[in-house]
Structure 1
Amino acid sequence: MNIEKTHLFDNPKNVKRLLYALYFCCGLLVVLDFVIKRKVYHSWENLWAFYPIYGFVGCVVLVFVASWMRLILMRDEDYYDSPETADKADLAEKAEIAGKAENTAAVLHAGDKHVRD
């Protein structure tokens, strides 16, 4: 009895409905752009489809800048845990855990003696 929970967008019909709703909203905004008089601050804002073009160019620039930054900021996969330090760190961690376990056992044992006295 393997019943999986279905989510809203697991059904392809729901995905199509969402896309149609988004298309409708985009079309409505284009129509409203002709109807509603906007207050513009610069003359280029009067151009038809200025804001969609501006948004598209902004996204493209963002992708190019991010790919350029990736070349500078990207580190190796084992940047924080290089093979040379990994073995030393693992040994130190194991020794620390063992030391804590010994200390805990000694404290518990000493505590037992004190409680019994």
Structure 2
Amino acid sequence: MTPEQDHWLVRPASIRKLWAGFIVVLALTVLADLFVEHHPHFGIDGTFGFGAWYGFISCVAMVFFSKGLGLLLKRRDDYYE
């Protein structure tokens, strides 16, 4: 495949634009938290950007858990042979 035929999602310029667009959308989503009235049940869930940082920490925890689970459950390449 020649560079002229490359899909638009693999072009470096398109990738940079997508990253910039995603960052802007995520930042606007967190900033929208300023205009929402919170009704916290536990105190900490009323802090600014709680959903964003809680979601990020949860995602990181799931990745580490899955890596550990993979180490526990993995088998040799020739396990079924």
Is the TM value for this pair above 0.5? yes
Cross-structure match for 1:48: 48
1:72 correspondence with 2:67: no
Cross-structure match for 2:25: 25
Which structure carries more helix by proportion?
1
- Against the structure 1 CA distance between its residues 32 and 24, is the aligned structure 2 distance closer, same or farther, given a 3 Å change threshold? same
- Against the structure 1 CA distance between its residues 77 and 68, is the aligned structure 2 distance closer, same or farther, given a 3 Å change threshold? same
Alpha-carbon separation, structure 2, partners of 1:72 and 1:27: 37
Alpha-carbon separation, structure 1, partners of 2:30 and 2:77: 46
Task: Extract unaligned runs of 5+ from structure 1.
Answer: 82-117
The 5-angstrom pairing of residues 1-117 of structure 1 reads 3=2, 5-81=5-81
Higher Rg: 1
Task: Extract unaligned runs of 5+ from structure 2.
Answer: none
Aligned pairs, how many?
80
**Equivalent position SS for 1:79:** coil
Displacement of 1:69 after TM fit?
1.1
Length-normalised TM-score, structure 2:
0.77
Alpha-carbon separation, structure 1, partners of 2:30 and 2:72: 40
RMSD: 2.1
Alpha-carbon separation, structure 2, partners of 1:30 and 1:3: 41
Alpha-carbon separation, structure 1, partners of 2:11 and 2:24: 20
For residues 58-108 of structure 1, give each alpha carbon's deviation from its aligned partner in whole angstroms, at most 9, with x where no partner exists.
Answer: 122112211221222101000111xxxxxxxxxxxxxxxxxxxxxxxxxxx
**Equivalent position amino acid for 1:14 in 2:** S
